[in-house]
């Protein structure tokens, strides 16, 4: 080093985390995506708010200095994988699971992005079993379990437990959210139209969970519960035209928004961070 020069210190993962993780920052990242379909889906789904919390949970855990190995189950449009790679690329190694019928992970701009960032995609059907010869520090199952039957969900939990070296993070709609309570009050169904047949491209909700039920299932499958949280989300009404959206926002803030703030159990989504004791897994496998 030349005399007088200061050594350039590489920012720590915590420093990077504190500087970038906000709804505004993640929104701007998604807005810069080249593919119109990605932008449409990310903003239509209101997912940036959920993603912020997922990223915070992952990078607030005590890992050593090596890259964190993350498995994104149901990578979808990359809602979780892309911000993690964009913000923390040098600190993570990301793999993913996606259904064999999903074409976006094998061609097009999303496939190119995954290839450039060396993301391994396991093309597997959760209903027929997970076969991965690797292990991960964090497994993220975001907005997936509501598309599985309770029997398949329990099967998936058992299979993920055998490849999880640290934490399992799940987000899913809250069956007891304020919107569902209103629907029930007026005699409406809280699920999508019933799934008919075995269409692999059907993404209807099959089963929804309350926090208590989700925690019970996780504990039943041998997971320890580290954190339980209720997450808010903007209502679907916000997708409408500007005037309608502003009116909807007023109504939402006056009624449903106030209810969610006062009663967290009525919020839109559940987030559960669970842990795996590898000693217990070894005992189970004997």
End-to-end Cα, the chain, rounded Å: 55
Determine the Cα–Cα distance for residues 50 and 273; give it in Å rounded to an integer.
13
- Pair 57, 273: CB distance under 8 Å: yes
Residue carrying structure tokens 């050593």: 64
pLDDT digits (tens, 9 = 90+) for 171-221: 999 999 988 888 888 888 887 655 444 444 456 788 999 999 999 999 999
Ranges of residues in the chain whose predicted pLDDT is under 70:
1-49, 65, 192-203, 233-246, 248-253, 278-286
Determine the Cα–Cα distance for residues 29 and 25; give it in Å rounded to an integer.
6
Determine the pLDDT at residue 245. Answer: 57
Smallest Cα–Cα separation from 169: which of 274, 61, 69, 86?
274
Determine the pLDDT at residue 248. Answer: 63
Residue carrying structure tokens 């600190």: 91
Determine the pLDDT at residue 204. Answer: 79
Radius of gyration of the chain (CA): 20
Determine the pLDDT at residue 255. Answer: 77
Which whole-number Å values give the CA distances from 259 to 81, 145, 172, 238, in the listed order?
32, 26, 20, 18
pTM over 0.85: no
Determine the pLDDT at residue 3. Answer: 46
Determine the pLDDT at residue 197. Answer: 46
Contacts of 276 (CB under 8 A, 6+ apart): 161, 164, 165, 166, 167, 168, 222, 223, 224
């Amino acid at each position: 080093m030349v005399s007088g020069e200061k050594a350039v210190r590489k920012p720590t993962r915590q420093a990077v985390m504190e500087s970038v993780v906000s709804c505004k920052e993640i929104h701007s990242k998604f807005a810069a995506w080249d593919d119109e379909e990605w932008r449409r889906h990310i903003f239509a789904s209101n997912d940036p708010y959920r993603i912020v919390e997922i990223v915070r949970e992952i990078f607030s855990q005590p890992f050593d200095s090596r890259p964190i190995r993350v498995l994104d189950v149901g990578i979808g449009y990359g809602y979780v994988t892309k911000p993690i790679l964009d913000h923390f690329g040098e600190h993570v190694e990301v793999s993913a699971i996606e259904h064999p019928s999903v074409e976006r992970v094998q061609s097009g701009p999303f496939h190119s992005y995954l290839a450039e960032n060396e993301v391994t995609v396991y093309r597997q059907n959760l209903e027929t079993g997970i076969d991965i010869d690797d292990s991960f520090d964090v497994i993220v199952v975001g907005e997936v379990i509501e598309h599985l039957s309770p029997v398949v969900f329990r099967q998936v939990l058992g299979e993920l437990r055998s490849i999880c070296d640290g934490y399992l993070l799940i987000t899913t709609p809250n069956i007891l959210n304020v919107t569902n309570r209103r629907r029930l009050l007026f005699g409406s169904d809280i699920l999508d139209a019933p799934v008919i047949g075995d269409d692999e491209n059907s993404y209807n909700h099959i089963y929804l969970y309350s926090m208590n039920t989700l925690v019970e299932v996780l504990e039943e499958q041998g997971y320890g519960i580290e954190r339980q949280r209720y997450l808010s989300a903007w209502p679907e009404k916000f997708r409408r035209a500007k005037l309608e959206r502003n009116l909807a926002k007023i109504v939402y803030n006056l009624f449903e928004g106030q209810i969610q703030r006062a009663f967290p159990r009525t919020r839109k989504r559940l987030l559960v961070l669970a842990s795996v004791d590898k000693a217990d897994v070894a005992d189970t496998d004997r």
